[in-house]
Chain A
Amino acid sequence: MSLSAQLRSELAQLVGQTNQTVRVVDGQRSVRCEADRVEPLAVTALVLVLETPELANVTLFEIQAASADLCRRVNYLLEPIAPIETDSQGCSVQMRSNPPQQDDNGRRYYELHLSRGGSVELCRYEKQPGQPRTRVPAVLTHEVTCRLVDDFVATVEGL
């Protein structure tokens, strides 16, 4: 069973529960979802991360290409995603909502990290006026969550 199918199944079993960490494994790859709350249709996730040793030896060029590919694929979130910073020393790429969502209550944006080592990670931040930036749960439907996992896997496989 694929990682996304396993995750869908796990989330279905946790409906109504709070502060849960869901972990599913498929061979060398594993997905971890730290759920603030699981509801029938959606999960509020503090972090969604794919971990795999397949990213252990990638070059900076490869990881930049993979991040561009990931940004093209993940076009169904609240804001478009774009690479913002590339760390040549740590060999990782930071992607963020570009532009971030902005209203009277402040700014919110997704942040994705693709790192040699390796992992693909998604979380969401909020910056309210006059307040420090905080990590907030990203509200993702089960369908979007599973699609994200599929796209993370496709990105890794494309390397």
Chain B
Amino acid sequence: MEIQRDNRRFKEIVRGRIKENLRKYITHGEMIGRKGRDLVSIPVPQLDVPKFRFGKNGSGGVGQGDGKVGDPVGQPGDGDGGQGGAGSEPGSGHLLEVDVSLEELAEMLGDELELPRIQPKGSATIEAEKSKYNSIRQTGPESLRHRRRTYLRALRRQISTGNYEVDDPRVVPIRADHQYRSWNEVPLPQVNAVAIYLMDVSGSMTDEQKQIVRTEAFWIDAWLAKQYHGVERRYIIHDAVAKEVDEHTFYHTRESGGTRISSAYKEAAELIARDLPVDQWNIYCFQFSDGDNWGDDNRRAFELLAERILPAVNLFCYGQVESPYGSGDFLDAIEKEFGNHEAVVTSEIADRDGIYESIRTFLGKGR
């Protein structure tokens, strides 16, 4: 019990340190490369972990050797040793790698940014089978043996057969007493959510802009995953032409084509119409671009957005990431056109430091 209390205390300290530095983690995205299936390994700075310090072997020790009452106790190795020199390498800063679950991270993010819980749209209409350990069987693997029930059954048997002695209350289960936990498949209503990421990969979007998008998408994913079980993610890239791609391609593609945002909206609208029935899915769109849309494409893009995307989504977020050439005009145009629409949220991300506020803006609506 003592070690469990210490472990809990240690986790609280780690959690506190991560929360203190959360803004840095959000901004720099250094943990993203460390992402496992459900855990993220985070380097926590300046966390002093108690540890034993060993002396030199054979050099004596406190309380050893001849001596009389009142003699001062010497320290091992007294008199030896010289002046130490400064190290030439930079210190590690006591970095400690700590595994934190994505769910915990999302919770910290929610606390830090004071994000409201998402209210799912509509009711849960899809049912998924889930295994639930809610029954007992006579057979099963030993790892699932239900000890309390086994001993109760053994006790009942011993009492009924007269083998139980009150003065010597020993209960010895036999094979026939063994009880095992077992499961049943139960249908659970499931609320489905999908995040559709749209990114401009035209020539003016550099790797730095894509890294910003990647970092922001990581945190958005973490938050959505906490709110919904099994969030699905779909990725669309575009320059003048759009296509649906996998996650790796999404973050590592660079094209030299011009920017036609309408192509991405068309692809997203077709994806929704084809795969994501609106009454069964909570749909979230996150679009990132430097805002340099070509020609008169805004008009076509806004038609698609108004007619085919906005009626289907819980939230449509547009993040304008500043490129080396500054920010384009699309942000102003979309704000002018849809500034009062309840499902549309926009943010301007000047650099990595802008990610923090952008996430707060996107997820702060609680939709």
Contact = CB atoms under 8 A, between A and B. Distances in A.
Interface of A: 83-90, 92, 94, 96, 99-100, 102, 107, 109, 125, 127, 130, 132-133
Contacts of A127: 325-327
B75 to A, nearest CB: 57
Interface in B312-344: 324-328, 332
Contact of B326 (A84, A87, A107): A107
Contacts of B240: 87-89
Main secondary structure of the interface of B (DSSP, over half): loop
A87 B294 contact: yes
B276 to A, nearest CB: 28
Contact of B256 (A85, A90, A96, A130): A85
Main secondary structure of the interface of A (DSSP, over half): strand
Contact of B324 (A86, A92, A99, A130): A99
Contacts of B328: 133
Nearest to B327: A133
Interface residues of B, number: 21
A15 B27 CA distance: 52
B116 interface: no
Contacts of A100: 324-325
20 contacts: A84-B325, A85-B202, A85-B257, A86-B258, A87-B240, A87-B260, A87-B294, A87-B295, A88-B257, A89-B240, A89-B258, A90-B294, A99-B324, A102-B324, A107-B324, A107-B325, A109-B325, A132-B327, A133-B325, A133-B326
Interface of B: 202-204, 239-241, 256-260, 292, 294-295, 324-328, 332, 350
B325 A85 contact: no
A84 B259 CA distance: 11
A83 B202 CA distance: 12
Contact of A85 (B239, B241, B326, B332): B239
